Amino acid sequence: MTPSALDPRGHGADVIAQLWWVLLALCTLVALITLAALVYAALRPRPNWQRPTAEQDRGPTRAIVYAGIVGPVIILAGLFVYVLSALGALSVPADSPYSIVVTGYQWWWDVRYRFPNQADGFRTANELRIPVGRRVRVDLESFDVIHSFWVPQLHGKIDLIPGRKNEIWLQANEPGVYRGQCAEFCGLQHTRMAFHVVALEPAEFDAWLMQQRRPAPEPRTAAEQHGRVTYESHGCAICHAIQGTTSRGIVAPDLTHVASRMYLAAGTIPTTRGHMAGWISDPQHVKPGVNMPRVPLDPDELNNLVTWLLTLR
C-alpha cells in the first residue's frame, strides 16, 4: 500500500486527482502540438529562403494569432473556470458535529477529538479514525515549528503553523487505512513523522469512539501492576498521559489506548511487543534526535511495562 495522490480514495483527493489528470492531458496535448510545430519548423525544407511578402505572411500570422494567443486564452479561461469549480468542490463545509484537532509536535501528531459536549472528547496520537462518507473537520495547530498535514489518498496538503489555526476536512469513500505524512521539513526526524487515517463503517466508528472514551483499564496481573508502577516511577508519567491514572503530561503522545493503534513512533514501527520494547529501551536508535529520552530499565521492568502497555487497548 503505497499511498499515491493518483490513487484517490476520498472526495478531496478525487477532485485533486481529476484536476491533475486534466491538466496533464491538456498540457501534454499542447506540448505535443508545440513540439510538432517546432519540429516542423526546424525540419521543413527551406531552399533559397526569401523574405515573405505581406501576402505570403498573412497565413502564418493568422496561425500565430489563433494558435498562439486566441487559442491559449480560450484554453486557459476554460481551465480557470474548471479550477474554480474544483476549488469550490473542495471548500464545501464539513458535516460532522465534532472536529478533530491535530497539533503537530516534533515529530509526532497529537490528535484530540472535540465534541459539543466536552465530556465526550478524548485524546490520542498519530492515528485518526473517521466514518466513511462523512466530511470530518480537522483543525490544525502546531506546538513548535511548521509542519504539513498530507494524506495523499484523501486530500491535499495543508500546513500547521504555530500561532495559527488552519482547517481542512477529510472524507473517505470506502473503508481502508490511508497513510499520511508530514510534508514540511520540520527537523531531524521529519521523514519519520507519518500518521494513518483509518476509515471505518459508521457502526464500527461509533464503537471505536466509545472505546476511546473509556479510561485505561486497571492492571489485572502482577506483571501488569509492576508495569504500571514502572511507568509512574520512571518519569514516563510526566511527559505522557494515561486517562485513569495521575499521568497527565501533554508534551508526549497520549497512551491511554496505545495498543489499539497500528503503529508507534508516528508511523515508524508497528505496534508489536518486540517493536515496543525496542522503542522504549532505546528511542534514539529508532529515531535519532527524538525528544523521548533513553531511560535505563532492567529487563524485568521493561517486560512488565510492555505487558501493561499492551493491555491499553
Burial category of 2 from C-beta neighbours within 10 Å (exposed 0-12, middle 13-18, buried 19 and up): exposed
CA 205 – CA 208 distance, rounded (Å): 5
Q: Which stretch binds other proteins (CB under 8 A): 4-12, 54-62, 118-126, 302-310?
A: 118-126
Q: Which of 1-9, 87-95, 150-158, 238-246 is the region at the interface with other proteins (rule: CB under 8 A)?
A: 238-246
Smallest separation (angstroms) from other proteins to the CB of 131:
21
Q: Which is nearer to other proteins, 28 or 233 (CB)?
A: 233
Residue 181 CB, nearest approach to other proteins (Å): 23
Instruction: Return the number of the residue (167 or 174) whose C-beta is nearest other proteins.
Output: 167
What letter does residue 67 receive in the DSSP assignment? I
Residue 250 binding other proteins, by CB under 8 A: yes
Residue 215 is a binding residue for other proteins (CB under 8 A): yes
Q: 169: cis peptide before it, omega within 30°?
A: no
Out of 144, 209, 229, 259, name the contact with other proteins by CB under 8 A.
144
Burial of 223 (0-12, 13-18, 19+ CB in 10 A): middle
Q: What is the smallest separation between the CB atom of 132 and other proteins, expressed in angstroms?
A: 26
Please calculate the CA angle 301-251-198 and round it to the nearest 5 degrees: 85
The residue within the footprint of other proteins, chosen from 142, 181, 304, 307 (CB under 8 A), is 142
Q: By CB under 8 A, name the one of 93, 118, 203, 299 that touches other proteins.
A: 118
Choice between 123 and 155, CB closer to other proteins: 123
Contact between 124 and other proteins per CB under 8 A: no
User: Quick check: 246 binds other proteins (CB under 8 A)?
Assistant: yes
3-state secondary structure of 6: coil
Q: How far is it, in rounded angstroms, from Cα 52 to Cα 21?
A: 41
E strand intervals along 171-296: 176-182, 194-200, 263-264, 269-270
DSSP SS3 for 197: strand
DSSP category for residue 254: B
Based on CB atoms, which residue is closest to other proteins, 145 or 310? 145
Asked whether position 163 contacts other proteins by CB under 8 A, the answer is yes
Per CB under 8 A, 119 contacts other proteins: yes
Distance CA 293, CA 273 (A): 19
Residue 293 binding other proteins, by CB under 8 A = yes
Measured in Å, how far apart are the chain's first and last C-alpha atoms? 25
Q: Looking at 133, 175, 176, 249, which residue binds other proteins (CB under 8 A)? A: 249
Compute the distance between CA of residue 291 and CA of residue 94 in angstroms, rounded to an integer. Answer: 34
Residue with grid cell 508495569, as numbered in its chain: 227
> Which residue in 251, 262, 273, 282 binds other proteins (CB under 8 A)?
251
The residue ranges that bind other proteins (CB under 8 A) are 117-119, 121-122, 142-145, 162-163, 213, 215, 233-235, 238-239, 243-244, 246, 248-251, 289, 291, 293-295
